[in-house]
A and B are shown apart, each in its own frame.
Chain A
Amino acid sequence: MTETLAPVFHRVGNRRHEYVLVPEGRRPWHRRRLPWIGRHWLAWRGGYNPKTLQRERRLSDKRPLWWFLGLGGLGVSAAVLPDTLLQVALVFCVFAAINVIWTLIIGAAGILSLATMAVVGLAGYGAAAANVYLGIPWPLMFLVGGCVGLLAGGLLALPSTRIDGLYYALLTIGVAEICRASISQIRALAPQNSSINNVGSFIPQDWYLQRPGLLLGFAASFVVLLAALLLFRLVNSERLGLQLQAAREDEEFSEAVGIDYRRARLMVFLVSSAALGVIGAFYAMLYRSISLNVFSLDQLLLMFAMIVIGGMGRAEGAVIGTAIVVVIDRALIDLGPGRIILIAAVMILVTLTTHHGLADVRTQFRGWRNRLKSERRAARTRKGGEVMPEEATEIDDKQQIAYRRFDKRLRDRLKALITPELIEEHRAAPLGPHSDALARVLNYFRRGDMPDKYAILQDGPPQGWTYTVMALSGEPGKPPRVVDDRVYDTRDEAYHAVFLLRVNDLLES
């Protein structure tokens, strides 16, 4: 009867790996903040661990660290990269900036617009024309680009309120085509082969195409990427982004609560278009020229591949996807047209296997792993009331767990005791002297919980009592319920009926 139980340790709890610091408890905690903004650098949470009796600090959101490592690594390593790779890094920064803002349009505003390169190109042409034909100095080109972007965004936003989803996406694919066709028609804009050259820039003329020029260009693109990420953060995590998230979760409810999500979408779209315009002007300045290549459908599809591979809707996705595609496209140039086939293959692989792109792979994996765990848990034989280790962490009163375990073991032993002879013994003498086994069984029954405990109702005239079985409700004021419609003539029969019901319940539990 007493078997030694070997201790089994189960990995419990759902908490992922958190960084935990154990500082000296006496020292006060000075949390540093960003200079003027007042936000903390990292989201440390202080707490007390009752098991180890120590004060702890936990960090569960490690994303700022990954961003810092990735971007910092890129910025620092750029100084030592050879010219070709530096060019690749430069292109990566510009495209990543465009894609981050595109993610703002697709993710936050929820407008599936494929006209990003059209806006960038239009603003680039506008800024370049202003500089070359109107003599506007290069610092003001950013302003011109932003205004052109804003205008283009306004024009594009008009149909987006009436036309939705995939329809709008297909329409915007054609917009770039139209821009290309129209600009190539306007002779005044670009006399030879529709490109504007000798655009003023922050890179001095003699530095252009030399190493110092490349470094300056990379530094500027890096700053542009950081600015785009900052804009994404400012829009996505502040009021506009939160309103739009509410609208994404439940449109009617958010409207009922008073959130004007249409206006919020429009605002985000306009802000993003203005930002794309600024990047367009920067693009013209970086290459000191702008040509119709910026409108090409292949370039647009490549950018779309970047955000698809990374995952639409997250800034990390835009950056990761851009990195992968730019590296394949620019660094592996020896493969020739095989590069594009490789990019398309990666795109297909990522779309077929992941739900929301590469940036979301961890969440998808965790969901899959949790599903497997719960399937395995359900497939294990039913423990019949005993508490699973995974549930034990959620129950506060540990005495309950011990009691449920004891109860289960008791029931298992009593089930072994119940035989037809036992039942016959009870039928013969419901109240009379009982054997040890029957006494144990009856003791267990009599100790049962009040809710749903069987009782006997004695009814009728004194000459002919009748007995029926009822079940107590256990709540004060609530009457007992009738179990079945069998009526017994003698009390012994009623006792035995109650015993049979209780035995049945025991065997079924």
Chain B
Amino acid sequence: MDATLIVYALNLSAIYALMAIGISLLWSSIGMLNMAHGATFAVAGYGALVVGDALLPGIDAALRGSGWLPFVRLAVLMAAGIGSGALFGAVVYLLAFLPIHDKANFPVRGLIVTLAINLATVQTLLWFFGPRQQALPSIFGFGRLELFGVPIRYDQATTIIATAILLGAALLWLRLSRKGLEIRAMMQNPEGAALSGISVRRTALPVMAVTGALAGAAAVLLSQSVYVSPGAGATPLIKGMIIALLGGLGSVPGAAVAALLIGTLEAITGEIPFLGQRMVLLVQFGFIILVLIIRPRGIGGLLDETRK
């Protein structure tokens, strides 16, 4: 077992964690399953692409040769991705949450509306940008750096560090800010929170914006190694959903643990010569089904209370 394997596993886990934690957070706080997460992913990728094409040439010219250049590029692309992700999260809030959150049959109807938004957005992106895959401008180039004798690719390092910072920031916000307190109250007990004067509508908007932002960050980070295309959101959506399921839909720490597990599993499966890269999805699925059969509520059932 090689240290590069660990780095690879961490890289994958980081991206999965961004998606899965967003989905889990949304379900546990407002009880809605956001199938439009894949669309958020794709939209954020394209948003970063558009902004990058507009701004980066100017920045390159201004900061040519400076050591800060890669970090500025990273900041610009991440800001664009996070911004467009948050914006799209707000759009989903307006269409899928506001009209039906207090009506009959909300979970299933929310699922359906977000699915429809996903369909429509992917088709719109296809219409506007065409089906060709496009590459985001690379940030650090394709070199490697040596950390404690372990070679890490630049984009892997970026992903792991950026994810750690983003998730840390999101968790700190949840823990320290007023809005975060309200969101945590809603996660624990929605009726109690409503009775305490916490408006579901006012709290749902920041939650959806934040989860959209996380998906946007995932899009920018993943696009370092994979192309941006309209259908790019489908696989991350499915994987994110399944990992959130494994972690227990209502539990955010569960989703983090599950992301780590699945990332490691994927890295290990890729290495075993008998299985190889092709059987990755099958092995992941089999593992998840096994865990869910043993613990129908996922890993989160072990850690804390989950919303049913």
Contact = CB atoms under 8 A, between A and B. Distances in A.
Interface stretch (A162-170, A244-252, A375-383, A451-459): A162-170
Nearest to A176: B238
A158 to B, nearest CB: 8
Interface residues of B, number: 40
A208 to B, nearest CB: 31
B292 A163 contact: yes
A181 B249 CA distance: 26
A344 B119 contact: yes
A338 B288 CA distance: 37
B120 A170 contact: no
A487 interface: no
B117 A162 contact: no
A341 B123 CA distance: 7
A336 to B, nearest CB: 7
B192 interface: no
A426 interface: no
B113 A170 contact: no
Nearest to A345: B120
Contacts of B279: 185
A355 B104 contact: yes
Contacts of A351: 100, 109, 112-113, 116
A344 B234 CA distance: 16
A302 to B, nearest CB: 8
A173 interface: yes
A407 interface: no
Interface residues of B: mostly helix, strand, loop or mixed?
helix
A219 B251 CA distance: 52
Interface in B90-125: 95, 99-100, 103-105, 107-109, 111-113, 115-120, 122-124
B123 A182 contact: no
A301 interface: yes
A279 B23 CA distance: 35
A348 B113 CA distance: 5
A356 interface: yes
B241 interface: yes
A177 B119 contact: no
B160 interface: no
A43 B123 CA distance: 47
Contacts of B99: 352
B285 interface: yes
Contacts of A338: 123, 127
Contact of B289 (A169, A171, A181, A312): A171
Interface in A150-175: 158-159, 162-164, 166-167, 169-171, 173-175
A167 B103 CA distance: 22
A73 interface: no
A338 B127 CA distance: 8
A297 interface: yes
B77 interface: no
Given A166-B111, A170-B242, A181-B278, A344 B296 contact: no
Given A173-B241, A355-B104, A355-B105, A347 B127 contact: no
Contacts of B281: 174, 177-178, 181
A308 interface: yes
Contacts, number: 106
A178 B282 contact: yes
A305 interface: yes
A504 to B, nearest CB: 41
A181 B123 CA distance: 24
Interface in B214-265: 234, 238, 241-242, 245, 249
A351 B105 CA distance: 10
B147 interface: no
Interface string A282-326: 000000000000000100010011001000100000000000000
B62 interface: no
B113 A352 contact: yes
Nearest to B278: A185
A310 B100 CA distance: 19
B42 interface: no
A178 B285 contact: yes
Nearest to B242: A174
Contacts of B122: 340
A185 B105 CA distance: 41
B267 to A, nearest CB: 18
Which of B104, B107, B245 has the most C-beta atoms of chain A within 10 angstroms of its own C-beta?
A: B245
Contacts of A178: 281-282, 285
Contacts of A336: 127
B126 interface: yes
A162 B290 CA distance: 11
A297 B292 contact: no
A336 B117 CA distance: 18
A345 B112 CA distance: 11
Nearest to A165: B107
A340 B111 CA distance: 18
B33 interface: yes
A346 to B, nearest CB: 8
B116 A344 contact: yes
Contacts of B113: 347-348, 351-352
Nearest to B241: A170
B176 interface: no
B215 to A, nearest CB: 17
B293 interface: yes
A340 B278 contact: no
Nearest to B282: A178
Contacts of B127: 336-338
Contacts of B293: 158-159, 162-163
A356 B105 contact: yes
- Max chain A Cβ within 10 angstroms of own Cβ: one of B249, B279, B296: B296
B175 to A, nearest CB: 28
Contacts of B117: 344, 348
A343 interface: yes
Contacts of B111: 166, 169
B285 A174 contact: yes
Given A166-B33, A356-B105, A337 B282 contact: no
A337 B123 contact: yes
Contacts of B282: 178, 181-182
Contacts of B249: 166-167
Nearest to B290: A159
Given A340-B123, A348-B117, A355-B104, 16 more contacts: A159-B293, A162-B296, A163-B292, A166-B107, A166-B111, A167-B296, A169-B111, A170-B245, A171-B289, A174-B238, A177-B281, A344-B119, A345-B120, A347-B116, A351-B112, A352-B100
Interface of A: 158-159, 162-164, 166-167, 169-171, 173-175, 177-178, 181-182, 185, 297, 301, 304-305, 308, 312, 336-338, 340-341, 343-345, 347-348, 351-352, 355-356
A-B complex: 10 closest residue pairs judged by Cβ atoms: A344-B120, A347-B116, A344-B116, A340-B123, A344-B119, A337-B123, A337-B127, A348-B116, A341-B120, A351-B112
19 contacts: A164-B296, A166-B249, A170-B242, A171-B242, A171-B245, A171-B292, A174-B281, A178-B282, A337-B123, A337-B124, A340-B120, A340-B122, A343-B119, A344-B119, A345-B116, A347-B115, A347-B119, A348-B116, A352-B113
